[in-house]
Structure 1
Amino acid sequence: MAKHHVSTTINGEPVEFLCDTSQTLLDVLRNELDMTGTKEGCGTGDCGACSVTLDGELVCSCLVLGAEANGKAVQTIEGMAAGSELHPLQRKFLEHAGLQCGICTPGILMAARELLKHNPDPTEEQVRYWLAGNLCRCTGYNKIIEAVLDAAREMRGESHA
């Protein structure tokens, strides 16, 4: 099978890899680059567990070919924390118990981060709409929504209401 040489940036770092023409970005991240934070839930783009950003656009990495990352910037869950300092969304997910098994959590966190980049003061309805493409079978969604809204308040410099 033909291999593609890919030069990209992942979480701000230049990365080069070889991948098969049919290999997904999810497969490359997990199996070639040992970045296992991004999870595979369905493999068909229906659950959102594998969400990453590609040039600032939220995508299901199971639906993107690894070769498509060439010359683009990829952000994964591994790049969310600043060193040992958790991102406010990560902290709030822990505080609100917005996670259980962990399969969906990375994708939900990536989607929530993109939401807050575009809309730092979302309503509950807007959070629910934005995260509708991310499925969770363990927690229900209330704790997740509460965590996102609380993180948004913190990121805006407001205290808990």
Structure 2
Amino acid sequence: MYEVINEELGIKACGLADLTAEQVNHFLGLWEDGARIGTLTVFFENETGDLVLNKDNEMYDTYRELAEIYMGASSDRREEIWENCPVPQMKETIRVMENCLKFRRTEKELFRARKNYIACEPSYAILSEIRKKYDLAGAVSVAFRYGIMQGKRMERAKKKRQSVIA
């Protein structure tokens, strides 16, 4: 079970004994040959987006402090932390933290995209035709551009309504 370190920042901690064999194999598979799981400092869970620190790491307190500072910092401050990081191993940990933040932003946007459904019948018909005419990658690209185009049309209509009212 993971211990909650900072709920607001999504930071948890666990010991090596809390990891599953699947997790250990996954981590070791990403590292160079001969690496030991004891060197694990931090990872993030794809299911929750939480950053998880290894309590058994000898520098746990340092990484905990770094995580709380980094995960709550602005992008400018995070860049400054990266540039001033003196230890190469710590840079790898910071890279994991940055990937965690990117994952969270992406998940947030995907959530928004899933919750915004198409209520306009003409738009639904256009998207249906796109699906029929293109392979998956092409359809995604065209649908994305169509969405941008529709957003611009909505903004222009909104500005036009506002200028008529004023």
Same fold (TM over 0.5): no
TM-score by length of 1: 0.26
Q: Highest CA radius of gyration, 1 or 2?
A: 2
Structure with the higher fraction of residues in helix conformation: 2
TM-score by length of 2: 0.26
